[in-house]
Structure 1
Amino acid sequence: MAELMSDQFFSILIAGFLVGIVVGLTGMGGGALMTPALIFLGVGHTAAIVTVDLTAAAIYKTGGAIAHWREGSPNLTLAKWLILGSVPMAFLGPWLVSGLTDDPETLEKTLKLCIGVALLFAASTYALRLYINLRNVRSGGVLPDDNPPIRPIPTLLVGMLGGLLVGITSVGSGSVIMIALLMLYPGLSAVKLVGTDLVQAVPLVLAAAVANIAIHGLEWDLLIPLVIGSVPGTLLGARIAPRVAQSIIRRGIVVVLTMSGVALLFKAGLHPYGEGQETLEAITVALVGLAMLCLVPLVWGVLRKQNGLPMFGAPTVAELEEARPRPQS
């Protein structure tokens, strides 16, 4: 026990608790938030952090999946096709990366590069989801269909892409697969989307965790405080979610993901200003965040205008996030 109570025990516990609250509040980005948070804390090698994050995700996603299963919300046929694609690729992904090099430093940079790209991808899926909802609202909505005809090949490919991404980076089991399901099956209700995604995510992250543990081992001094912090944080976030403006938090998450993605690209060895220019790189990350805060609302306003809406006003971002398929007449 004394070995587990390292100097970083409480910093990991607090990070897990805070990220858990955000996940409970919004349902967004466990891996997309936790992995970069632990990397920037400097609590271990990136491979160890990815492994621990996937193992923790396998624990808390199982609880969410069981809850949705009992409510009957998952589309099990759709989940089956996603699992058939995602699980093999989630298991294969870590072996592909580890086969690239035997040099720990090169592996570290490769993983940070992959995670940085995955974070930027995850941030973009949030904007894409809002835009799809905007188009659906303007077209009068789509008919609800919680049991749509399954499109096996596209669904299988979505699972394969999501599995590969998660196996390598621990990012994407929610954000990337969710937006793909929204595009392939727009009639699915929000509860069906979430339930289906959670059910397929359990074997996905479990396969990814097993592969990473087999390659890198499991550092219990990272896992135990992460689980101790994240589980109550998630429960607390879920309890206070009805009283919190989630749309503002979600937009903040997108800014954080974008800044973290750019920072990790720099850490991976992409130095546009040359070696040793950490100050310029830090300024760039800050400017990216500032641009996200100032320019993205203007771009969003232009997109609204192109769809026949005023630049600002109804439907608001919060209303679009909660957009549902229109009922059948």
Structure 2
Amino acid sequence: MIDPIYIASGFGVGLLVGMTGVGGGSLMTPLLILLFGIHPATAVGTDLLYAAATKAGGSFVHGLARSIHWPAVIRLASGSIPASVLTLLVLWQLDLDNTTARSLVNLVLCLALLLTAGSLIFRKALLESFRSRLERLDAATIARATVLVGVALGVLVSISSVGAGAVGVTALLLLYPGLPMARIVGSDIAHAVPLTLIAGLGHWAMGTVDWHLMGVLLIGSLPGIVIGSYGATRVPEMALRLLLAATLIVVSGKLAADEWHRSSASVAALIRGAPADHQDAR
């Protein structure tokens, strides 16, 4: 059965992604966890494949427009793909159904949301502060730094599904200041496709992907992205960035508070000698 609420949620997220260019993970994953009560691991796994599907279309368009800087994409992927595989192996060993893994996903998600919000708010200040220094770096150093950025993104995205959007774009702007914004965005999207696909398949192998949910979300998000992209030029960019950053900070705080209460309940239950009552949603 197709739930119209999920379709509406997908449309809303797609609309914001089209207007801001920020990856849907920073919006969709917290929405699934907080509003719909989806288990964090399932929300992450489902969102990863959802992101791979939506970004594949964007990557195709950027490829046709020749707005992808492939050397940067290859360097990012050479760091992110191995890091993603190793991270998935660690998650598999932890067993994503247990409380420890759930706490790990929530905490990393909070960190990734704060990094995304910070990159939205302070991107201009970061570029002004560090661009002149980074412009003096030689090509080999820039290549190594890009690989390291890929490693960090691989870990963040595999655990939380967040990071490949605003954080990736900010890093590319710092490392490749000579590239036009269109090629920066195109390169970030092109890199996100294999990363989210591999991470999503890894979560699928661990049983943390809801295919029906992903399909319903796509029904709403695809037209939302088109409409949002059309309206992006009609809404002030700075206002959108600040609004989105404020939303991410609030959501991160809500996730952290929920995790704190859950952990406190576990400790209290252990002190009383009784098991904590954790009833995870699907």
TM-score range, shorter chain: 0.7 to 0.9
The answer to whether structure 1 residue 258 and structure 2 residue 255 are counterparts is no
Quickly say closer, same or farther: Cα 1:43–1:10, change in 2 above 3 A: farther
Greater C-alpha radius of gyration: 1
Alignment partners' CA distance in 1, 2:29 and 2:152: 19
Secondary structure (helix, strand or coil) at the match of 2:6 reads: helix
Structure 1 unpaired stretches of 5+: 277-329
The answer to whether structure 1 residue 98 and structure 2 residue 89 are counterparts is no
| Equivalent residue, structure 2, for 1:210 | 201
Alpha-carbon distance, 1:189 to partner: 1.5
Quickly say closer, same or farther: Cα 1:269–1:247, change in 2 above 3 A: same
Q: Do 1:116 and 1:264's aligned partners in 2 also have CA atoms closer than 8 Å?
A: yes
Percent identity, please. 35
Q: What is the Cα-based RMSD across aligned positions, in Å?
A: 2.4
TM-score, normalised to structure 2, is: 0.85
RCO comparison, higher one (Cα < 8 Å, 6+): 2
Alignment partners' CA distance in 2, 1:164 and 1:113: 13
In the TM superposition, structure 1's runs of 4+ consecutive aligned residues that sit over 3 Å from their partners are 133-137
Alpha-carbon distance, 1:136 to partner: 8.1
Quickly say closer, same or farther: Cα 1:98–1:267, change in 2 above 3 A: farther
Secondary structure (helix, strand or coil) at the match of 1:197 reads: helix
| Equivalent residue, structure 2, for 1:47 | 41
Alignment partners' CA distance in 1, 2:45 and 2:79: 21
Alpha-carbon distance, 1:85 to partner: 0.8
Alignment partners' CA distance in 1, 2:92 and 2:103: 12
The answer to whether structure 1 residue 124 and structure 2 residue 115 are counterparts is no
TM-score, normalised to structure 1, is: 0.74
Alpha-carbon distance, 1:181 to partner: 1.4
| Equivalent residue, structure 1, for 2:192 | 201
Secondary structure (helix, strand or coil) at the match of 1:216 reads: coil
The one-letter amino acid of 1:114's match is: V
| Equivalent residue, structure 1, for 2:15 | 21
Alignment partners' CA distance in 2, 1:172 and 1:166: 6
Quickly say closer, same or farther: Cα 1:102–1:165, change in 2 above 3 A: closer
Alpha-carbon distance, 1:263 to partner: 1.1
Structure with greater helix percent? 2
Quickly say closer, same or farther: Cα 1:24–1:103, change in 2 above 3 A: closer
| Equivalent residue, structure 1, for 2:234 | 243
Quickly say closer, same or farther: Cα 1:267–1:94, change in 2 above 3 A: farther
5 Å-filtered alignment, 1:313-324, equals none
| CA displacement 1:48-71 (0-9 Å, x = unmatched) | 111111111101101111111111
Alpha-carbon distance, 1:221 to partner: 2.7
The answer to whether structure 1 residue 161 and structure 2 residue 155 are counterparts is no
Q: 2:6 aligns with which of 2, 12, 16?
A: 12
Q: Does 35-44 or 256-265 show the bigger shift? A: 35-44
Alpha-carbon distance, 1:101 to partner: 4.7
Structure 2 unpaired stretches of 5+: 267-282
Q: Do 2:41 and 2:96's aligned partners in 1 also have CA atoms closer than 8 Å?
A: no
